[in-house]
Structure 1
Amino acid sequence: MEKEILSQYYIFLILIPILCGTVARYITLVVDYRQYPSYPNGYLIHLVAGFISSGIGAIAIPAILERNFEAITFLVLATEQFREVRKIEKESLQDLDNVEHVFRGEAYIDGIAKTFEARNYLSLLVSFLTSLTMHLVPHNIILINILSGILAGGIIFYILKNFSKGKSIGDIAQVKLAKITVKNSELYVDDIFVTNHLGTDRARNLVKDGGMAAIIYPNERHFNRIIDHHGQRQAIIFEACRMLGLKRYHYTKCDYETGRVAVMLVPIIYNEGSFIETIKKTPLLESIKKSSSLMKSNLNK
């Protein structure tokens, strides 16, 4: 009887960490307004990858305790395969860019690909620390041991999720609706000159009657370095066009004197609230983040 209980316990030592890691991957695999990854195929691919990474984390501790160093070498090699996740995601998104009305851009694609790679490591770490806790806690009461492992997995998941959580445009800037003005062939968003390529009456009427515009006001002057980055502006206009559809024109323009950025498009669905919220929720790209400590120290002198 004791052998049966012990054998069941060893099964739990593997299954519980795998379950915790897979659940952690599912929680982070949320289809938001950007609708990526698509479902159900996108869900299936990433959940299976999360399950595999959780399995790697779950068997690491038993392999070490059994001094099965060949298994440890195999685990290290298996984690190398997660880099392929980033490569596959990047290639897939680049292929999709060819059929979009507006490009995501290389910087945005790179950020998305890195995120999916990192989330597999998150599953691995949650599973690993759940397994480690279950091995460290005394085995006298199996239920307490299992609950301790789940609690440890939940805590590390909360810490890692908040640590890896990125910021969005709304965290560093204010976004407000703006007035579109067309003077001859010139387009203005409030007082910001955008373009002079509206050479026909049809184009001018289309922009005046169906255009929508907003201005992004950075909360601090140095934030305009981020907002004005070509990759970041491309991500903003992509998300806006993806949400509302694009009938014809789209522009972004920076006013370098004030750091404001104008965003304008002629959408298929005219919804000002969704337009503003989409811009606010556009993620800040990791590849363009810069430290402002040096600038602030020089300004304070």
Structure 2
Amino acid sequence: MKDSLISHEHLVMIVTSVIVGTLARLLTIKEDYRQYPSYPNGYLIHLLTGFVSAAIGAVAIPALMTKNFIAVTFLTAAAQQFRDVRKSERESLKDLEHTEYAYRGDAYIDGIAKTFESRNYFALIVALITAITMQLIDSKTTWINVLAGTLVGLIVFYLLKRFSKGKTIGDIAEVEQGTVEVRESELYVDGMYVSNLLGSDHASKLFETEGLAVIIKPHENHLRITLDNFGQRQAALFEATRALGLKRYHFTRRDFENGRIVITLVPIINDIDRLIEAVKKTPLLESTKKSKAVMNTNLVGKK
């Protein structure tokens, strides 16, 4: 009967690893300027999936040490579980598309879903490394094992977070206030034609008095490839409307001559600083990223 019970050392290892792994997931759940995930239901769902992920990583080492190799095979189920998290997140966001001020777009939704999937891997890896560290230290003093495992686990979490941190529009471009101008029924921003859909006097007056606009200027010419992408511009427009609300009308337009991007709208909250900040913090989508160094290398290789 005693042989079937888990040892005190392994119990401490599992509990410590689960706590550290779950903490890693908790630290990546933050209600930022995008207001997502929502509180409290969104927090609870992602925290529980993080707990499960941490538990999977935490029991792997004790299972190996007790030669319970069959128990380790459930690690293969973790990948499927994380894929299901991504799938459910994608479906949930797509279901909400028609309720938003502006569409997120498929590219942005895919990026968000992948982010939540990867954060569950954070919990698993951190819990696994914590357990491995405690097993390697193997001190007779329990608190030394716990302290060492926790410290190494948090260091690994910090490195993973730094490695996975993506860039934003503000990292590759300048975002400045644009001057809104209405000429008859046509809308211009900094002299750049945007739309001719302002057919009524009311619409023209509304944009003249309450319209806001920002101009996005890429730091380098090759960055236009990223900013000109429709999915990237749609993501920026979504963040703008999400931050300020939308009273009426929203447009995004490209300037093919110099690479400028215009985001303009009539918001509920008239705050240009908040608009600039929202656009700056819009994440760069994975589907739009291009490495100039790799592209140059490939070109040289072909020559």
TM-score range, shorter chain: over 0.9
| Bigger mean CA deviation after superposition, 196-205 or 146-155 | 196-205
> Gaps (5+ residues) in structure 2?
1-5
Q: Equivalences for 1:165-176 in 2 at 5 Å?
A: 165-176=165-176
The CA distance in 1 between the partners of 2:281 and 2:212, in whole Å, is: 18
Q: CA deviation at 1:296?
A: 5.0
Matched, 1:55 2:55: yes
Task: Name the structure 1 match of 2:150.
Answer: 150
Secondary structure of 1:82 counterpart:
helix
Q: CA deviation at 1:7?
A: 4.3
Task: Name the structure 1 match of 2:279.
Answer: 279
Q: CA deviation at 1:193?
A: 1.0
Q: Deviations over 1:81-138 (max 9, x none)?
A: 1110000000000001121121110000000000000000010000000000000013
The CA distance in 1 between the partners of 2:138 and 2:57, in whole Å, is: 20
Secondary structure of 2:214 counterpart:
strand
Task: Name the structure 2 match of 1:11.
Answer: 11
Q: CA deviation at 1:78?
A: 3.4
Q: CA deviation at 1:280?
A: 0.4
Q: CA deviation at 1:210?
A: 0.7
Letter in 2 for 1:110: D
Q: Equivalences for 1:67-82 in 2 at 5 Å?
A: 67-82=67-82
Secondary structure of 1:32 counterpart:
coil
Task: Name the structure 1 match of 2:256.
Answer: 256
Matched, 1:215 2:215: yes
Q: Equivalences for 1:219-298 in 2 at 5 Å?
A: 219-293=219-293, 296=296
The count of corresponding residues between Structure 1 and Structure 2 is 295
Secondary structure of 1:208 counterpart:
helix
The CA distance in 2 between the partners of 1:169 and 1:134, in whole Å, is: 41
Please give the TM-score of this superposition, normalised by the length of structure 2: 0.94
Q: How high is the sequence identity, in percent, across the aligned residues?
A: 54
The CA distance in 1 between the partners of 2:61 and 2:275, in whole Å, is: 49
Q: Deviations over 1:47-72 (max 9, x none)?
A: 10000000000001111122212111
What's the RMSD between the two structures over aligned residues? 1.6
The CA distance in 1 between the partners of 2:237 and 2:262, in whole Å, is: 10
Please give the TM-score of this superposition, normalised by the length of structure 1: 0.94
Q: Equivalences for 1:55-134 in 2 at 5 Å?
A: 55-134=55-134
Task: Name the structure 2 match of 1:39.
Answer: 39
Q: Deviations over 1:163-202 (max 9, x none)?
A: 1111111100110001011111211110211112212111
The CA distance in 2 between the partners of 1:191 and 1:296, in whole Å, is: 35
The CA distance in 2 between the partners of 1:206 and 1:102, in whole Å, is: 19
Secondary structure of 1:197 counterpart:
coil
Matched, 1:205 2:205: yes
